[in-house]
């Protein structure tokens, strides 16, 4: 059976490079502009203000949560609120510890170093980070074997902001060196409506409250997706609806872009299809499921599953992933008593 939604992946929760520039223009610049996440916001506000009172860089900050919830934006806000510049890198980009040593020793006093996907940093580089975070010092090893020597180099006091979608994969020595851990959660639809109105203002789009509510409800609790859907609905509105977005226009546009009423994207639906149709609802192991949808296990686990679990469509059990009755219903199917699958009309898939 072909997936009727197998089209452009406009609700994918990771950004395409071409969209990064547009995303940057929509980023909140100050803590007061940052919508939602009230607990993290308040905790960060205290951390930053007390650091400013003491005139010292704040403790290292770890932000954890699914993609697109605003971790990068918050890291930039931390630097902006402190009035310092930010250097940005990511765990996978730091292949050798020498790369990290060069970044660390090049930092200016008080700067923020943002390491996205910090759980993917290579082990030797991670070990270098320990002394840099704790003592503002790195030992660079020169040479190999018995003749190798460690040259200690000073690092200016800095604040590391690490972002991770998988805080469970962080080793405890690394996790323990963060003085503050902020857990980001999915946004409520009413918070996403505020995000959408703010973005519409920046983009110069007329967005009515009912249009914002329609888009927010399909944004999977994720501001990045809300903004992406807004841009696509804006395209539709400009060409077919004189540039104004209300509920009717939003619904029509999202139908064209094949975003369903739950906001599921191609990968989400592929996972549900595989789980329900190929594995009869599970339980099935993550790697088997990932092979069935042609993705890496990490992509299924980090990108699709958090929302599927939250939407009550998938559960993780010790024996593997299981489709809930709501997942069967969403695909228009009913679980059969035996191992076969019957669709709602009694036929086999």
**Residue 73 vs 341, nearer CB to ligand ATP:** 73
164 binds ligand ATP per the rule CB under 6 A: no
182 binds ligand ATP per the rule CB under 6 A: no
Q: For tokens 């996440």, what's the residue?
A: 37
Local structure of residue 186 (DSSP, 8 states) = P
26 binds ligand ATP per the rule CB under 6 A: yes
> CB of residue 149 vs ligand ATP: minimum separation in angstroms?
38
> CB of residue 116 vs ligand ATP: minimum separation in angstroms?
6
35 binds ligand ATP per the rule CB under 6 A: yes
Distance of CA 67 to the CA centre of its chain: 0
Burial class (CB in 10 A: 0-12, 13-18, 19+), 307: buried
How far are the Cα atoms of 127, 181, 215, 230 from residue 149, in angstroms, in the given order? 16, 35, 59, 56
331 binds ligand ATP per the rule CB under 6 A: no
Q: Which residues of 64-75 are buried (b: 16+ CB within 10 A; e: fewer)?
A: bbbbbbbbbbbb
Is 317 an annotated catalytic residue?
Answer: no
266 binds ligand ATP per the rule CB under 6 A: no
Backbone φ and ψ for 188, nearest 5 degrees, come out as -75, 155
Catalytic residue among 164, 165, 222, 324: 165
223 binds ligand ATP per the rule CB under 6 A: yes
* Residue 93, number of CB atoms within 10 A of its CB: 15
> CB of residue 33 vs ligand ATP: minimum separation in angstroms?
7
Cis peptide before 283 (omega within 30 of 0): yes
> CB of residue 266 vs ligand ATP: minimum separation in angstroms?
17
- Which listed residue (72, 219, 324, 341) binds ligand ATP by CB under 6 A? 72
Rounded to 10 degrees, what is the CA torsion of 274, 310, 287, 169?
170
Alpha-carbon distance of 213 to 208, in angstroms, equals 9
Give, as ranges, the residues between 292 and 321 that touch ligand ATP (CB under 6 A): none
Known binding positions for Mg(2+): 72
**Residue 37 vs 97, nearer CB to ligand ATP:** 37
Would you give the binding string for ligand ATP spanning residues 116-145, x where CB under 6 A is met?
x-----------------------------
User: Residue 72 in contact with residue 114, Cβ under 8 Å?
Assistant: yes
Known binding positions: 26-27, 68, 71-73, 134-136, 177, 187, 224, 316, 321
Catalytic residue among 72, 159, 324, 341: 72
Alpha-carbon distance of 109 to 299, in angstroms, equals 37
- Span from 68-76, 260-268, 303-311, 338-346 in contact with ligand ATP (CB under 6 A): 68-76
Q: For tokens 């009413």, what's the residue?
A: 190
Known binding positions for ATP: 26-27, 68, 71-73, 134-136, 177, 187, 224
263 binds ligand ATP per the rule CB under 6 A: no
Q: For tokens 């369903």, what's the residue?
A: 260
Alpha-carbon distance of 81 to 73, in angstroms, equals 12
Residues that bind ligand ATP (CB under 6 A): 14, 23, 26-28, 34-36, 67-73, 116, 163, 195, 223-224, 227
Active site residues: 71-72, 116, 165, 224
């Amino acid at each position: 059976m072909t997936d009727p939604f197998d089209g452009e992946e406009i609700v994918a929760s990771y950004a395409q490079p071409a969209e990064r520039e547009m995303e940057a223009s929509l980023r909140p610049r100050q803590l007061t502009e940052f919508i939602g996440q009230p607990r993290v916001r308040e905790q960060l506000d205290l951390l930053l203000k007390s650091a400013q009172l003491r005139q010292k860089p704040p403790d290292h900050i770890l932000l954890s949560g699914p993609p697109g919830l605003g971790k990068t934006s918050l890291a930039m806000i931390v630097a902006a609120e402190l009035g310092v510049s930010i250097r940005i890198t990511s765990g996978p980009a730091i292949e050798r510890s020498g790369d990290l040593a060069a970044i660390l020793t090049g930092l200016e006093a008080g700067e923020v170093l943002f390491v996205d996907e910090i759980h993917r940093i290579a082990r030797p580089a991670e070990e270098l980070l320990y002394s840099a975070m704790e003592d503002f010092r790195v030992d660079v090893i020169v040479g190999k074997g018995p003749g190798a020597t460690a040259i200690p180099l000073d690092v200016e006091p800095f604040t590391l902001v690490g972002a991770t979608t998988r805080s469970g994969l962080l080793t405890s020595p690394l996790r323990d060196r963060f003085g503050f851990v902020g857990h980001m959660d999915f946004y409520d639809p009413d918070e996403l409506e505020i995000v959408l109105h703010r973005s519409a203002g920046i983009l110069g789009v007329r967005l009515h409250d009912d249009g914002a509510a329609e888009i927010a409800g399909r944004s999977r609790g994720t501001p990045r997706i809300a903004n992406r859907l807004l841009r696509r609905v804006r395209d539709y509105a400009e060409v077919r609806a004189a540039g104004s977005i209300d509920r009717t226009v939003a619904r029509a546009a999202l139908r064209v872009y094949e975003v369903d009423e739950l906001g599921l994207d191609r990968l989400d639906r592929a996972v549900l299809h595989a789980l329900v149709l190929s594995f009869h609802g599970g339980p099935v192991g993550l790697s088997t499921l990932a092979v069935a949808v042609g993705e890496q296990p990490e992509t299924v686990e980090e990108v699709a599953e958090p929302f599927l679990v939250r939407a009550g469509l998938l559960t993780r059990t010790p024996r593997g992933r299981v489709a809930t009755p709501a997942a069967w219903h969403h695909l228009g199917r009913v679980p059969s008593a035996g191992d076969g699958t019957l669709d709602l009309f009694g036929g086999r898939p």
